[in-house]
Structure 1
Amino acid sequence: MFETFKTVTMAQMATFDDVLEVTGRIGWFQIRSFIFLLITHLIGSWVVFALVFIGGTNDHWCTVGQLEQEDCMELNMTSSDCDQLKRDLTTSGLSEGDAKCMKYNISGNDVVSALAQLEDVTKPDVIPCDDGWTYDRSMYGITVTEEWNLVCDYSTIPNILMSTFFGGILLGCLVFGYLADRIGRYRVFCICIIGAALCSLLSALSPHVLVFGSLRFMLGFFMYGSALVTFVIATELVLPDKRVYLGTGVWYCFALGQVLLPGLAILIPNWRHLIIVTTMPFLLLVPAFWFLTESPRWLVADENFEEAEKVIQEIAKVNKKEIPHNLLTKLREEYVKAQADEQTTFRNLIRNPVLMVYFICLLYIWFAQSFVYYGLSLGTSSLGMNIHAAFSISGAVELPAYAFSMFTMNKFGRRLSTGGLTFVAGLACLGTILIPVGPFRVTVAMVGKFAITASFANIYLHTSEIFPTPLRTSVTGICSVAARVGGMVAPLILVLGQYWVSLPLVCFGVSAILAAFLMFMLPETKGRSMPDTIGDSVKLRRVPVRNEDNSVGGAVTTTNTITS
């Protein structure tokens, strides 16, 4: 049976959060939707980091065709000793770099005569690899690097492939952020999921590295579009007191994907098979096309009230609630009245000095968060252990960071939590300069990474809570572009360590501390309704915070309770 609300004071009904109060603060509809969103971020993690394993470079050396069938029987050697001897015959005495790309010219010799020639004072001429390469698969399985011999003169191509993928992400930030605010979250979600699944599967069939690189670009384009939209949907379906859990919870699945991916790479050593297996979870998202709906908050902002009413009725039905007959009418009247006073367009946003300050601050904060995050990750990535174990540990470290993110946002609010964590990350970067190499320095660096991971999760949610519904995804997408720029700049800053070893850490530390101070230029959004108009966003500076029990810490209320 539906739970019926006895009275509704219509004079107080004015916001979409009031609708969520009636249809269920968090019910099976929200939980069901959130499960699909979690799957999206799990797949997203595998898509983003797959190239670490499918594009890894194994140790390699020149193949000598004439020695391939030699078994070293005359020398009484085991198979492994014979393989090592063949390698020594072609590379012994060469520098580490040359040993991977050059070989001694021992044409026409067998193992025994080649060994005698190698021991001679006058060694054979050195020539480039002309028979291809032999790969040691003790670290990675069969990778794109091995299949297309992306080594030596072509060794930069795997890095270019990664940059190509991030280029697709950058474009996706702009295109799908805009489209989600124009044609709706649901349509963009469907387009992106289908596009990403097709690009991923087709990349596993790539006949050439150029085809693979093009498909990776398109995969990044579609995949980030789905991740951006699903995050916005998650935050728009719940009330303020649950927004932290859903907004940050998606990153748990992203980190879990990092923990699981190395195990899959070990079990599935062929890069084509690994792509196919990690693409299979897309099938789990097919039911989402029937169970997910358009964001009703966006439908109201788009003035599609008839469709919004259908979706709201669906939420109430799934959550076993009943909507008062005049609730949606009042919501429509209030929104039309608000829109009559102002138009929520990007042009009006940038004309508003308050929101423009918020926007500029956030662009820098997103840049700095990504800049420091990737700078610390790349600068401390070598843990002196197996790549699979190191990668899993790196993902596992982020899990408690997200828990800490949720705790601090609920306890101290968005500004103090994000600003404080970013400041700690900056201090850790600067403090690392003063600490000698050793376990204590690594610990301080990990504290910095922990802090920047938690604050990076915070800023996604904070941004979505500041800007109005018709512009929310567009603004988040543009801020994501700033973050991508930060991620691309970080490796270049690390190069400055050649001139002064501490210079990169100084850049990271100063950037983080400046971002921490800029956080306090933004409004506190803890417990507040998501704004639907530019006026709502501007009022965040002075509207009081609503507590989790719906009481208001001030004289003026923005949303009101419904008596049950």
Structure 2
Amino acid sequence: MGFEEVLSEVGKFGRFQKLVVFLLGTSMLLRSAHVYFQLFAAVEPPHYCQVWRDEDCSGMNITTAECESLKKELSIPSTAANDNKTVEYEQCAQYNVTGISLDTAVDLYDEADNSLEVIPCTDGWIFSENSLYPSSIIADFSLVCGSAYVMEVAQSVFFAGSLIGSPLCGLFSDMFGRRKTFLVCFLFTIVFGVALSFSSSVLMYMLLRFSLSGFIRGIGLVACVIGTEIVAPSKRLFVSNCLYIWWGFGYMLLALLAKFISRWRLLQAVITIPYIPIFIFAWFIVPESPRWLLAKRRAGEAEQVLHKIARSNRRIVSDDVIAGACKLDEQTTQTETQQDKINKQAEYLAGSKTSCVQSMVYYIISFTTTSLGVDPYLSFVLTGLVEIPAFLACAMFGESLGRRWANFIAMMLGGLCCCAIAFIPLGIWRLVASMTGKFCISMSLSILYTWMAELTPTPLRSSGMGFFGVSSRLGGVLTPIVLILKDVWEPLPILLIGSLSVLASIFCLCVPETKGQPLPSTIRDTEQLYICRTIIGDEDDVKVSKKEQEDKQTGYTSLDLQEKEEEI
């Protein structure tokens, strides 16, 4: 009996696996809150240049608020709004009142109105409190006017942390174990997350966000690997989607928290502190992956994990069956060479090309949901809510159509929706198109992550997912840069990534199908999947692949059996 069969015997998705997946899911819940934290914490509030900082209106018999209003009227250029009923003041310019006191400006108001030179702000800004976003990183660090680009850089720096953390965490997971890497990432996420709420400068903020991002990425990457390695093949896609449903709930939780927690420092602490009890429970419950233990020739420890799973699931499996399966799987992993590992890296490129585009589509839709012409909190909640049916649809269509065709259709429809958004005016219909695009691209991403994990052999699974994550995070890094194109033409970013999504959907047809295939333990197992390389897929090839997988589990090839029969 092979390892896949034994894993089914101890419980395809029993009580133990459900508990582990629940804990892994709670870790995913807060990951999305950290990724989109800046969307609510870095909103630009109304502002204008600060002038006559040290002067007051004590001799004018007016209130402090009226004094500030007078300073603003005397020192800030203004124009009539479109309705001709209100006045719009410049946010980054002021009259040059150097050497002119407030009292003198009041006396010369009529004469000075059109004669003073207009210059950039020289003494900082006064920020008006925004009813939706009372506290902002931008106001705390004065990141407006000439420094307005810094927040876009900060978001790219955050994704750059994921770009580096993804391959490193994947490598450490393959070298030192899934469980150890998972817990270390948890610990450092708590440390950097809490420290972030005490940032005293924008440089400190960016450095901490960079570090936090790498470890948050590690949590998500290893959680997905553990989840797929402790369940039977028929439950892999389901488990993967369960984890991503928690990601969608994290969306909605962030909007709810941001609605009632107006101070960004407190909000950052609130989305970090719950990691502490999750870390404690994970320490005692989350096991090491038995597949990884076998890949490292630690069959004894793998047997202990399988016995623990069987006991928790109240399944009776003999010691000999478990020991035999572990011994056989351990022997198959010994035939792998370093050259095999190097040769197969190139096969990952097709999936990585699509993941880069998918990430850009995903994040651009997500980061623009608060500017669709409806309530920003409501639109963000809807953005998270739409992910839940998307992941359920992924589980259904990924099994019925297969990974390849389900991903192709979802990417194609998502790209077409994005292209449509570019030509729909602000309002409810743009929101509908945006949510439809988000639905499709979320479904596509979920399929792709499971698909790539199913293509990668056990000794390289975390490293392979890390490599795949580099491409995905690169899309995240490019997102703020692409969004700058809206200054050229507002719909340009969404139109660009929609077109790229349509083109990139073709690449996924070059990746082999994994539906119904055993999770590969070695590079040679992975090579069998690449028999099904054509777009339509060859049924005979699939049968050959399955037959060779069966031969692997029994230890004999069809030729060996034929020779034995002839001897008899």
Say whether the fold is shared (TM-score over 0.5). yes
Aligned partners of 1:188 and 1:229 also within 8 Å: yes
Change (3 A) 1:45 1:506: closer
- Identify the residue that residue 329 of structure 2 maps to in structure 1: 335
Deviation at 1:416, TM superposition (A): 1.4
Aligned residue pairs: how many?
530
> 2:227 matched to 1:234?
yes
Aligned partners of 1:117 and 1:124 also within 8 Å: no
> 2:248 matched to 1:255?
yes
- Identify the residue that residue 135 of structure 1 maps to in structure 2: 127
**SS of equivalent residue, structure 1 residue 293:** coil
Deviation at 1:189, TM superposition (A): 0.6
**SS of equivalent residue, structure 1 residue 279:** coil
* Identity of matched residues, %: 30
In structure 2, how many angstroms separate the alpha carbons of the residues matched to 1:101 and 1:243? 58
Query: What amino acid sits opposite 2:462 in the alignment?
Result: T
**SS of equivalent residue, structure 1 residue 102:** strand
Once the two structures are superposed, residues 399-429 of structure 1 have per-residue CA deviations (whole angstroms, 9 ceiling, x without a partner) of: 3222222221132221111111112223334
- Identify the residue that residue 312 of structure 1 maps to in structure 2: 306
In structure 1, how many angstroms separate the alpha carbons of the residues matched to 2:253 and 2:106? 46
Unaligned 5+ runs, structure 2: 81-87, 533-541, 554-568
In structure 1, how many angstroms separate the alpha carbons of the residues matched to 2:379 and 2:429? 19
Aligned partners of 1:427 and 1:509 also within 8 Å: yes
- Identify the residue that residue 188 of structure 1 maps to in structure 2: 181
Deviation at 1:71, TM superposition (A): 9.0
- Identify the residue that residue 514 of structure 1 maps to in structure 2: 503
Unaligned 5+ runs, structure 1: 1-12, 544-552
Change (3 A) 1:472 1:380: same
Deviation at 1:440, TM superposition (A): 5.5
1:27-106 map, 5 Å: 27-65=14-52, 70=57, 84-93=69-78, 98-103=90-95, 105=97
- Identify the residue that residue 426 of structure 1 maps to in structure 2: 415
**SS of equivalent residue, structure 2 residue 518:** coil
In structure 1, how many angstroms separate the alpha carbons of the residues matched to 2:49 and 2:422? 42
Aligned partners of 1:29 and 1:315 also within 8 Å: yes
Residues 365-374 or 475-484, more deviating: 365-374
Change (3 A) 1:424 1:392: same
Aligned partners of 2:77 and 2:89 also within 8 Å: no
Change (3 A) 1:502 1:208: closer
Deviation at 1:283, TM superposition (A): 1.5
Deviation at 1:151, TM superposition (A): 2.0
**SS of equivalent residue, structure 1 residue 326:** helix
Aligned partners of 2:32 and 2:251 also within 8 Å: yes
Aligned partners of 1:72 and 1:82 also within 8 Å: no
- Identify the residue that residue 274 of structure 2 maps to in structure 1: 281
In structure 2, how many angstroms separate the alpha carbons of the residues matched to 1:140 and 1:399? 27
Query: What amino acid sits opposite 2:283 in the alignment?
Result: F
Residues 418-427 or 221-230, more deviating: 418-427
Deviation at 1:85, TM superposition (A): 4.8
In structure 1, how many angstroms separate the alpha carbons of the residues matched to 2:329 and 2:53? 80
**SS of equivalent residue, structure 1 residue 58:** coil
In structure 1, how many angstroms separate the alpha carbons of the residues matched to 2:521 and 2:413? 34
Residues 113-122 or 18-27, more deviating: 113-122
- Identify the residue that residue 264 of structure 1 maps to in structure 2: 257
Residues 246-255 or 504-513, more deviating: 504-513
Once the two structures are superposed, residues 288-344 of structure 1 have per-residue CA deviations (whole angstroms, 9 ceiling, x without a partner) of: 11111111111111111121122112112222222212123212332243234433x
In structure 2, how many angstroms separate the alpha carbons of the residues matched to 1:227 and 1:147? 31
Aligned-residue CA RMSD (Å): 3.2
Query: What amino acid sits opposite 1:28 in the alignment?
Result: R
Query: What amino acid sits opposite 2:137 in the alignment?
Result: V
Query: What amino acid sits opposite 1:308 in the alignment?
Result: A
- Identify the residue that residue 297 of structure 1 maps to in structure 2: 291
- Identify the residue that residue 177 of structure 1 maps to in structure 2: 170
Once the two structures are superposed, residues 109-150 of structure 1 have per-residue CA deviations (whole angstroms, 9 ceiling, x without a partner) of: 25xx75564444545454554553222222323222222222
**SS of equivalent residue, structure 2 residue 509:** helix
Query: What amino acid sits opposite 1:348 in the alignment?
Result: D
In structure 2, how many angstroms separate the alpha carbons of the residues matched to 1:163 and 1:479? 18
- Identify the residue that residue 529 of structure 2 maps to in structure 1: 540
In structure 1, how many angstroms separate the alpha carbons of the residues matched to 2:22 and 2:332? 34
In structure 2, how many angstroms separate the alpha carbons of the residues matched to 1:172 and 1:350? 21
In structure 2, how many angstroms separate the alpha carbons of the residues matched to 1:416 and 1:393? 27
Q: Normalising by the residue count of structure 2, what TM-score does the alignment of the two structures yield?
A: 0.84
